[in-house]
Amino acid sequence: MFGSVLLRGSGLGVLRHASRGLMSRSISNLVRTNNVISTIGLKRALPTASIASFHSSVQIREAVQFQQNTIAGSSTTKPAKARPLLNSSKVVGYWLVGTSILVFGIVVLGGLTRLTESGLSITEWRPVAGTVPPLNQQEWEDEFEKYKSSPEFKQLNSHITLDEFKFIFFMEWIHRLWGRAIGAVFILPAVYFAVAKKTSPHVNKRLFGLAALLGLQGFIGWWMVKSGLDEDQLKERKSKPTVSQYRLTTHLGAAFMLYMGMLWTGFEIVREAKWVKNPSEALVLFSKLDNPALAPLRRSALGLLALTFATAMTGGLVAGLDAGLIYNTFPHMGDDWVPSKRELMDENFARKDDKSDIFWRNMLENPTTAIIPKQATTTAHAMMGIATAQVTLGIFTLLYLVPISLASAHQAGALALLTSSLLFASQLRKPRAAIRILTGGLYTQKQKAASKILTEASKLTK
């Protein structure tokens, strides 16, 4: 029909101007103010069961009222007061995904710092002054003297030279500097995007929570290191100079939560931007995501994500206890499939006189017991190709007595598996109600704009 209309000269220019004005006004107003929404679009965008709850809201009543006054051709209607954004700029999504890559890197670097036994080389926490390393010989010697007073030097590293100390110092210093860089790369753009109205209130809350977690992570890191420098704590744990496995796992868990939060939010923003750009395709996808047959798969995806996270946390306990060095065989643990009861429930790990804490102490502090949950979950992960590679890396890491290269690759594999699980769960997630409304409204406005263009074109041909 539209293709049969032939326009020349000034008539074509009028049509182009009218179409550009209609489309730009209708889309920008809807994205920015959420005012022009048709009930037809809502019915397409929302499941039938939930449409009534949206019809009864103040926001929808105002939107429909405004539509009736505006689209009918009323020229006296005053512009509606601007409302908060429903969606965020896709640039914000790409920035979050990019920042999550930095978090991925610092987790791998943190693993290398532990594998090279460098984590206790810096005995002070100086968030600002610690950014600059020693710059001359005297400063290096002063730093080395501080390290000499630590339990790790006295008990394990009394033989190392200044040059050897410089290596472990720089490993820890780079790890801390990377963390500061992530703070700058995340917080400064987050403030800019919020002030420039590039982010919705929904995303602003997420960014605030992630910023708080990022700041807390710095304190957790020092809290962890402190457990390896305090001689009283080491004596209580009956441990060599090393950080507490509980604090190490807390530090690792916070990093994983930060990574997942950035990645999940970034995926969501980019996905919603794609829906807003192509509302007709989005509505088709919405109908598929609302299919009840997907509910079991959606639960399985979230379950797999939770299982992957839990397995990674048991890896933190295993690393903190050096449990990977206990049994270097697979699938057997020593000569048997399961270690003996005496090894699993060793009374030496109980700290109370009545031995009432023997069970949970062995579960969390006995290297023999701590490694069992990690091995047991490999079967569930083996259904995925990336998990197969991760299992293989884990086996060879055990067989070759935890070499640095394989152990680091194994830790990176855990994050890669978590990423794939998170992406899978994100793709199955139903759209937010606000995005359903926005997309449905955009679809309707495009239909109305196209109809009005055809009407104008018909008039010009008469």
Task: Return the exposure string of 275-297: e unless at least 16 CB atoms fall within 10 Å of the residue's CB, then b.
Answer: bbeebeebbeebeeebeeeeeee
Are 128 and 214 in the same domain? Answer: yes
Average pLDDT over every residue of 91-115: 92
Calpha distance 366→237 (Å, rounded): 12
Distance CA 391, CA 397 (A): 10
Q: Identify which of 76-85, 279-288, 434-443 has the greatest average pLDDT.
A: 279-288
Work out the average pLDDT over 367-385: 48
| pLDDT of 251 above 80 | yes
Q: Which residues are CB-neighbours of 355 under 8 A, at least 6 positions away?
A: 347
Domain boundary among 242, 262, 282: 262
Asked whether residue 161 falls in the same domain as residue 205, the answer is yes
Which has the closest alpha carbon to 430: 47, 26, 90?
47
Q: Are residue 418 and residue 440 in the same domain, yes or no?
A: no
DSSP structure string for 98-153: HHHHHHHHHHHHHHHHHHTT-TTS-----TTGGGSPP-SHHHHHHHHHHHHTSHHH
187 and 243 part of one domain: yes
Q: Which long-range contacts (CB under 8 A, 24 or more apart) does 290-298 make?
A: 290/47, 290/430, 294/428, 297/428, 298/425, 298/428, 298/429
Average pLDDT over residues 341-370: 66
Q: How confident is the model at residue 414 (pLDDT cuts 50, 70, 90)?
A: confident
pLDDT for res 278:
86
Q: Which residue has the higher pLDDT, 294 or 75?
A: 294
Q: Is residue 364 part of a domain?
A: yes
What integer is the mean pLDDT of 261-276? 92
Q: How far apart are CA 340 and CA 345, in angstroms?
A: 9
- The model's confidence at residue 413, banded by pLDDT at 50, 70 and 90, is confident
CA 183/CA 193 separation, integer angstroms: 15
- Kindly report the pTM of this predicted structure: 0.69
In a domain, 288, yes or no: no
DSSP string for 386-447: HHHHHHHHHHHHHHTT--HHHHHHHHHHHHHHHHHHHHHHHHHSPPPHHHHHHHHHHHHHHH
Same domain, yes or no: 158 and 213: yes
Q: Is residue 48 part of a domain?
A: yes
Strand-pairing partners, residue 336, are: 333
* 258/332 same-domain check: no
DSSP 79: P
The pLDDT assigned to 328 comes to: 62
Q: How much is the mean pLDDT over the chain?
A: 75
pLDDT reported for residue 289: 84
**For 355, left (φ over 0), alpha (ψ -120 to 50), or beta?**
left
Q: Are 75 and 222 within one domain?
A: no
pLDDT of residue 415: 79
CA-only gyration radius of the chain, Å: 30
Residue 333 tokens read as 């643990």
Q: Is residue 289 domain-resident?
A: no
Strand partners, 333: 336
Residue 283 placed within a domain: no
Provide mean pLDDT across the span 296-310.
86
pLDDT given at position 223: 93
Supply the pLDDT for residue 265.
Answer: 94
Average pLDDT of the segment spanning 278-288: 85
Instruction: Give the model confidence (pLDDT) of 59-75 as tens digits.
Output: 333 444 444 444 444 44
Lowest mean pLDDT among 46-55, 105-114, 287-296: 46-55
| Whether 228 and 164 share a structural domain | yes
Apex CA 334: angle with CA 332 and CA 337, to 5°?
35
Would the pLDDT of 269 be above 90?
A: yes
245 and 96 in one domain? yes
Q: How would you class 113 by CB atoms within 10 Å of its CB: exposed for 0-12, middle for 13-18, buried for 19 or more?
A: buried
Range of the domain at 441: 2-33+35-82+436-461
- pLDDT over 50 (residue 186): yes
pLDDT > 90 fraction of the chain, expressed in percent and rounded: 29
pLDDT of residue 57: 37
Domain endpoint, select from 262, 286, 316:
262
Domain assignment present for 271: no
Q: What is the largest CA-CA distance in the chain?
A: 100
Q: Indicate whether 153 and 224 sit together in one domain.
A: yes
pLDDT digits over 15-61, tens only?
A: 344 444 433 433 334 443 333 333 334 444 444 333 333 333 333 33
State the total domains in the chain. Answer: 3
DSSP string over 317-368: HHHHTTGGGT---SSSBTTBSS--HHHHT-GGG--STT-TTHHHHHHHH-HH
Q: Using 50, 70 and 90 to split pLDDT, how confident is the model at 80?
A: low
CA 55, CA 298: separation in Å to the nearest integer?
A: 28
Any domain includes 287: no
CA separation for the pair 208, 190 (Å, rounded): 9
Please state, for a pLDDT cut of 70, what percent of the chain lies above it.
Answer: 65
Q: How far apart are CA 110 and CA 221, in angstroms?
A: 10
Domain membership flag for residue 157: yes
**Residue 364: its pLDDT value, please?**
61
Residues 11 and 123 in one domain: no
* Confidence (pLDDT) at 78: 53
Same domain, 325 and 386: yes
